[in-house]
Amino acid sequence: MKKVAITTRHDLKEHKSTLIKFIKCLQDQDREVFLDQNARKNLSEEVKNCQNFEFDNSVDLLVVVGGDGTVLRATRYMKDLNVPLLGINVGRLGFLAEIKSEHFDNTCQLIWEGQFTKDPRMLLKVELVRDGEVVLTHRALNEFTIGLSEVSRIIELDISVDSYPVSHVLADGFIVATPTGSTAHSLSAGGPILHPKMEAFILTPIAPHSFTQKPIVITPEKVIEIKPKGRNRENIMITMDGQVSEKIEKGDVIRISKHEEKVCFLRLLDESFFKTIKAKLFWGEGFNTNGE
């Protein structure tokens, strides 16, 4: 891994010294460093030996410095999804950007020594179908969400799987999530946590107006179609990973399937999903074996 690119979130001024440290660490280890415009804009002399990174460069590793939102942005812009990502957390939760910034030097050394594993994650393929034609295509790592642009109003949706009608939903919205996204918006709406190495779709209604409409997990070879119904169709928005939104028109159909490509993360050998959800969500806490 000789060519290493760094992308950061937009507002990284308070972490300037940390970013400089990362660059120097990579250069001291004889790595060729590429920086995107976010990483460059708060630096001057420190980046004179770094090349520009435009997400279509041929690199061996993409280091994402920020939080989970920065990782999601990177996966949206990446042209070559075969390039592995290493997430360095300077945000809050850090499910996707798990490595603490103070561990960067040691983490890189372990990676150069081959002490890592690749962690491929499935993506959603979201297609907007209008008059029988696909007019927009997006990919999503965490989730697809549909809801109204106005607050406190419900939407009416017909949900089908492989052309079979499975649900008529009255709710504040609807989520289709990946296992990676099971700890994000879907979880807050009452969806289950899935291990990220699984491949599945999680269908989660948001505040449904029925006790019978509960989240369901289905296999990834299925094709999901969502057809907005009722009076509020002109104000419906679809959102991918909380980053890209599109307003839909009357008669539009949203088709969701498994994307043909995957995003690949690098993980250290001692990293564990259960350790992450225990640290981030306090999962499993509160049970005292002493009976106290």
Q: Which residues are catalytic?
A: 68
The 244-247 sheet, strands edge to edge: 216-218, 201-206, 173-177, 143-148, 236-240, 244-247
Give the C-alpha separation, 99 to 89, whole Å: 6
What is the distance between the alpha carbons of residues 168 and 231, in angstroms, rounded to a whole number? Answer: 15
DSSP codes of every residue in 28-62? HTTPEEEE-HHHHTT-SGGGTT-EE--SSS--SEE
Which residue's structure tokens are 């798990």? 98
CA distance 93 to 113: 28
Beta-carbon contacts of 212 under 8 Å, excluding residues fewer than 6 positions away, are none
Alpha-carbon separation of residue 178 from 102, 142, 185, 187, 233 (angstroms): 30, 6, 11, 11, 26
Distances (CA, A) of 200 to 194, 227, 246: 9, 21, 24
CA dihedral of residues 101, 103, 106, 109 (deg, nearest 10): -40
159/247 Cα distance (integer angstroms): 19
DSSP 20: H
Rg (CA), the chain: 21
Alpha-carbon span 234 to 247, nearest angstrom = 8
